[in-house]
Amino acid sequence: MAEASNYEVTESVTEQTLESGVQHVNNPVLDLPQIVKKYLQKVIGYQQKENSYLFTDGSATVEVKVVSDEIIRIRLAPHSQFLDDFSYAVSNPDQHVAVYAFQEEEDCYTVSTNTVTCVIHKETFLIAFRDRDGKVINQDHSPMHWEENPDFGGYYVYCTKVAEDQEAFYGLGDKPTHLNLRGKRLTNWNSDTYSFAFDQDPLYRSIPFYIGLSSGEAYGIFFDNTFKTYFDFGAEVHDRTSFWSEGGELQYYYIHGPHMMDVVKRYHSITGTHYLPPLWALGYHQCRWSYYPESKVYELAKGFRSRQIPCDAIYLDIDYMDGYRCFTWNKHYFPDPKKMIKTLADDGFKTVVIIDPGIKVDDNYWVFKEGKENKYFCRRGDDYFMEGHVWPGRCQFPDFTNPEARKWWSGLFKGLVDAGVAGVWNDMNEPAVFGRGTFPNDVRHNYDGYRGSHRKAHNVYGMQMVRATYDGLKKLNHGKRPFTITRAAYAGTQRYSSVWTGDNVATWEHLRLGVLQLQRLSVSGMSFCGTDIGGFSGEPDGELFTRWIQFGVFSPFMRAHSAGDTREREPWSFGPEFEAINKKFIELRYKLLPYIYSVFWEQARYGFPILRPVTMLEQELESNIPREEEFSFGDKILVSPVVNPGQTSKRVYLPKGYWYDYWDQCFHLGGEEVEVATPLDRMPIFIKAGAVIPEFPVMQSVDLRLVNTLKLSVYYADSQVNSFIYEDHGDTFAYEQEIYLEKKMVLIGDKNSLTLNQSIDGLFTERYETYQLYFIGLPFNINRIRIDNKLVEWKSEDGIPVVEVSKDFKNLVVE
């Protein structure tokens, strides 16, 4: 590819003015270029191009594109020259649109689908979105505007919308703050933020997608712009929400609700979902900086198996490498990696290794040599290679936005995969550089042919790295699903990876923060997420660690991790009392795996978030109290992790409906708070009435051969409730060819009976033959149980009726 001469940025200007946000003041002392803010003027004409409508004020053009029945995209071209329509985030910009219509009215134009109408006001160029009943769901406060910067050669682009009086705002990725973002101004710029604090901003990820919720109705805005972006939710002016960027295009998607679940689902429909992870990735994982040498790793493995504490993966942090050179092994610590990994695998452990982006400058190191020869490393504006210090010392960094470099990177994993490595952990990919934080702005990036500076590529650098990592593993993995985890991300990264929240701290505040962050990540499209259980830096005591393990059971990703200068951090490190409780909860994770896996399937297939804040469960309630600690995992289990020391009881809010306490099976009416005992060996867990919850037997690592009967706990309800159970091989891609089972269980209860109907979809065959059904909460005494019209016997276990049933039953009646 030819070197671009119209390279858009040099390092200079305007950081100072930009930090101040919307209200720019030119600073004569700094002699900054003259910046003039321009607004769209009156609309004077329009044009149609298929499902796009172009409106102009004579100089600027706005495109309104119908993406789907519920999604409309808006783009602004200040001089009527649109930028290339390329996005790393959006994998599916053209969906099937059944019907859409265009109308000119006296004072406006309208572009309508079956569900949403976009209104463009002629006089003001203000844009609004209405629902089918004509109700305005979202509208501009000011016309879209921009600032031309002669020095920068681009624009800063702005959109300012009306914030309704009671409107609340959710989403935006990993922001470590309260769920409702009202009153906050936030920035997206991926940053390595060791030991971050409550309210610190920005952190590691940029997800410029938020959900507005007003009068019980939700909508989403996805501002697909990879430059440094800003969001102001009524912070500067109470009744305005603004978002703006230091470059690129003003391009955003309006995503219709009215339910928050639908907004998230539709956001996933354009940016993709996480593929179904291998089942082992949902087990318990043990990490530390670092486990080495080999003997230490074996000792760790033995520590789990000898105590019968389940664990599926052991992580190797940077010390496994030779001088921190990626794709090498320190042969002194790990003389025969293949043999070690095989030994661990035979014992049920997968090995996951870390890979950073920094490649050591060393002419005797093949990775550096190949990267250099092929010009895969990033260069500065003045054509010198970008160099920076990270763990290996002086390093250069692949330009992961170059498709050739990604392909090369994908291939580099061959050695690791051949050695048996099952998953890869990408760290430091904000990108992080010691001393100066990250790359300078003038670093040039290929950006898949749409060249740009680091300003444009910074926020996607980590995403493209883990994309290349994922592609490599997928190709090399012999048909097994890969597992990847990344620290930095941009919207859409869920297609390639899971994420963790980075370097948190071993404090109660951070445990609480984790509860907020994972809920937020989940509604922001990054459902496969977790925190460093126990806290990365600092020292947890046994109580904090145990409470964190409990939260971990209901974190989509469950991994304990700690910094190297801290005391040991295994489930047994805090003494026998804590060990027993940690074991019990890790076992609970394994029992719930078939439920957890089914929830992951719903996310992969339909785009539903895995964790759902209470606001999402009851968004229609006027009185919606901002509960932040309760959330549901899927739609059947509601939890409220204990996040305070010494807490022996907790008031838990249960959403409307009926719930069973998981521990004592007591029945509760929702819509109010209940007081639950929280001794150290309990956390509040509630099961929705009518749910059918599948359980595996406890196993030391995921192995479907050990499931010889599936336990199903059937929680009575006097209504109809559907549950889904998803099953497949657990680690292959055969599910893409329908080699899976999606079982629908319909429970219908009344005063004197309970009926359960099963229907099965898909081509997979389970290994087990029977279900073990447990009937919880029946309000009547059983006279008989019929399965497919045959009477069957039942027994009682601790007062709970249990019956064994063929896995193929269709109809079961208890009366």
Residues that bind ligand MIG (CB under 6 A): 289, 317-318, 354, 427-428, 487, 502-503, 561
Min dist. Cβ of residue 319 to ligand MIG (A): 9
Min dist. Cβ of residue 612 to ligand MIG (A): 27
Per the residue annotation, which of 57, 430, 570, 661 is the catalytic one?
430
Min dist. Cβ of residue 289 to ligand MIG (A): 4
What letter does residue 134 receive in the DSSP assignment? S
> Residue holding tokens 């005591």?
541
In angstroms, rounded to a whole number, what is the distance separating the alpha carbons of residues 180 and 516? 10
User: 561 or 627: whose CB is closer to ligand MIG?
Assistant: 561
User: 243 or 291: whose CB is closer to ligand MIG?
Assistant: 291
Per the residue annotation, which of 427, 471, 532, 628 is the catalytic one?
427
User: 354 or 616: whose CB is closer to ligand MIG?
Assistant: 354
442 included as an active-site residue: no
- Which helix (DSSP H) or strand (DSSP E) does residue 15 occupy? helix 15-19
What letter does residue 519 receive in the DSSP assignment? H
- Asked if 181 and 131 count as a contact pair (C-beta separation under 8 A), the reply is no
Contacts of 366 (CB under 8 A, 6+ apart): none
User: 392 or 613: whose CB is closer to ligand MIG?
Assistant: 392
Min dist. Cβ of residue 227 to ligand MIG (A): 25
Please name which of 22, 17, 21 lies closest in space to residue 33, comparing C-alpha atoms.
Answer: 17
Per the residue annotation, which of 147, 201, 503, 630 is the catalytic one?
503
What is residue 799's three-state secondary structure?
coil
CA distances from 728 to 418, 741, 757, 761 (A): 25, 6, 21, 12
In angstroms, rounded to a whole number, what is the distance separating the alpha carbons of residues 683 and 663? 9
Contacts of 224 (CB under 8 A, 6+ apart): 87, 89, 90, 208, 251, 252, 253, 491
Min dist. Cβ of residue 485 to ligand MIG (A): 10
User: 249 or 430: whose CB is closer to ligand MIG?
Assistant: 430
382 included as an active-site residue: no
- Asked if 678 and 647 count as a contact pair (C-beta separation under 8 A), the reply is yes
Contacts of 269 (CB under 8 A, 6+ apart): 68, 71, 92, 95, 607
User: 291 or 660: whose CB is closer to ligand MIG?
Assistant: 291
In angstroms, rounded to a whole number, what is the distance separating the alpha carbons of residues 326 and 391? 10
User: 117 or 501: whose CB is closer to ligand MIG?
Assistant: 501
Q: Which residues on adjacent β-strands are paired with residue 796? A: 801
Q: Which residues on adjacent β-strands are paired with residue 439? A: none
User: Helices marked H in 319-453 — which ranges?
Assistant: 337-346, 366-373, 403-412, 414-418
Please report, as a single letter, which amino acid is at residue 361: V
Task: Give just the sign of the alpha carbon dihedral 494, 500, 501, 502.
Answer: negative
Task: Give just the sign of the alpha carbon dihedral 568, 569, 570, 576.
Answer: positive
- Which helix (DSSP H) or strand (DSSP E) does residue 54 occupy? strand 52-56
Min dist. Cβ of residue 525 to ligand MIG (A): 22
User: 39 or 434: whose CB is closer to ligand MIG?
Assistant: 434
Q: Which residues on adjacent β-strands are paired with residue 70? A: none
- Which helix (DSSP H) or strand (DSSP E) does residue 359 occupy? strand 359-360
430 included as an active-site residue: yes
The two beta strands, 558-560 and 532-533, are: parallel
Min dist. Cβ of residue 508 to ligand MIG (A): 21
- Asked if 166 and 159 count as a contact pair (C-beta separation under 8 A), the reply is no
Q: Which residue's C-beta sits nearest to ligand MIG?
A: 289
User: 505 or 785: whose CB is closer to ligand MIG?
Assistant: 505
Min dist. Cβ of residue 562 to ligand MIG (A): 8
Q: Work out the angle between the directed axes of helices 508-523 and 542-553 (0-180°, nearest 10).
A: 10
Min dist. Cβ of residue 518 to ligand MIG (A): 16
Active-site amino acid positions: 427, 430, 503
